[in-house]
Chain A
Amino acid sequence: MQSIRRGLLAGTLAGLLLVGLLFIDEGPGNQFSLVARAFALGDDSGSKGVSALLLIGLGGLLGGLFGLLLRHRAVSHAQSLCAGLVVGVGWWVVLFGLLGALVQRLPFSLYSLLLYLVLSLVYGMILGSLYWLSPLERGRWLPGDG
């Protein structure tokens, strides 16, 4: 249960970071219109807000699944990062490849494809890193000078 909770927390935080990065690009928040269209939502500002919330929620959900899959394994940091990257690639393929390009037939430019690939990998990296770094189990938040 604790590993699912750790994954949920790590995934939600990684989703939040993704939203922060997407908010800045083509900002403020205009990149969310593409995400909203991938989710088959409209293109107005309300849909952008909903798609931001969906990204955070989906991030948490995937994080929970990540924790569920790794619950009986003692993973090293490198393994956790690699597993996170695999989740990131999966996120990109499903959300932008299947939903966006194939189902919704969105016109992705080369830059958009690169951008979403990098951001999906960032999600995976942060998920893997925070899952491993999680203070719930490891108690690694050591004090320092600053």
Chain B
Amino acid sequence: MSSSASEGANAFAASLEAAPPSHALSAPVTLSERSLVALALVRLWFGFLWFQQLGWKMPPTFGGLHTDVEREVAHTILPGYSRLIQTVFLTHFSLLGNSIWAAELLVGLCLIFGVFTRLGALLALLLSLQLYVGIAYAPGEWYWAYGMLLMLSLCLIAVPAGRRLGFDQVLQPRLTQAARTNRLARLLVRLV
């Protein structure tokens, strides 16, 4: 081993000794009020994005949704998905339209009002995944836009973004208290 390599190894060993114990590395991170409010604003705007998309697919006709689903048939990147859309979704289009509209409304309301934010973000993740697989690579689409939808949804599942400027801040302590005795509350507290 050369002297410089040996010095490097010694420095690395010294840095390991100086490092805090492993339990300190996994200690919880406390977010400042400023960061929590910034996260809440991200949540609000992301929720508004979903809410705004209801405007062009209003029931009972669902506007341009049919054309959009047809584009997914032609440009999906998942083998077999186009057949599934044709045989299941397009043949029961009214049911699909209502389900998508209701799901996007739920995502929008959960994220805008910060109520069961993680549930809203989880639903947003599933919808974004469907969009990525179905339409992200269609002509004229910027596939990173759908990638960003996915990543933003994932971020809002990871962090408690509804705990400021939202109803989760009020719900969370109550649900945590109820979770000691109630199984449903134990499930619900994971969604705030």
Contact = CB atoms under 8 A, between A and B. Distances in A.
Contacts of B54: 111, 114
18 contacts: A21-B44, A21-B45, A25-B52, A110-B58, A111-B55, A111-B58, A115-B51, A115-B52, A115-B55, A118-B51, A121-B113, A122-B112, A129-B165, A133-B165, A141-B32, A142-B33, A144-B35, A145-B32
Interface in B115-149: none
A141 B52 contact: no
Interface residues of B, number: 26
Given A21-B48, A145-B29, A146-B31, 10 more contacts: A24-B48, A115-B51, A115-B55, A122-B44, A130-B165, A133-B164, A141-B33, A144-B32, A144-B35, A146-B29
A122 B167 CA distance: 11
A8 interface: no
Nearest to B49: A24
Contacts of B35: 144, 146
Q: Which 4 residue pairs spanning A and B have beta carbons closest together?
A: A144-B32, A144-B30, A111-B55, A141-B33
B34 interface: yes
Q: Is the interface of B mostly helix, strand, loop or mixed?
A: helix
A63 B33 CA distance: 22
A10 to B, nearest CB: 11
B9 interface: no
Interface in A98-134: 109-111, 114-115, 118, 121-122, 125-126, 129-130, 133
Interface size class of A (residues with CB under 8 A): 20 to 34
A115 B52 CA distance: 8
Contacts of B29: 144-146
Given A77-B170, A111-B54, A144 B113 contact: no
Interface of A: 17, 21, 24-25, 77-78, 81, 109-111, 114-115, 118, 121-122, 125-126, 129-130, 133, 140-146
A21 B34 CA distance: 20
Contacts of B94: none
Interface of B: 29-35, 41, 44-45, 48, 51-52, 54-55, 58, 108-109, 112-113, 164-167, 169-170
Q: Is the interface of A mostly helix, strand, loop or mixed?
A: helix
A17 B170 CA distance: 21
A110 B54 CA distance: 11
A78 B170 contact: yes
B164 A24 contact: no
A24 B52 contact: yes
Contacts of A78: 170
A130 to B, nearest CB: 7
Contacts of B167: 81, 125
A141 B54 CA distance: 36
Contacts of A145: 29-32
Contacts of A24: 45, 48, 52
B166 A125 contact: yes
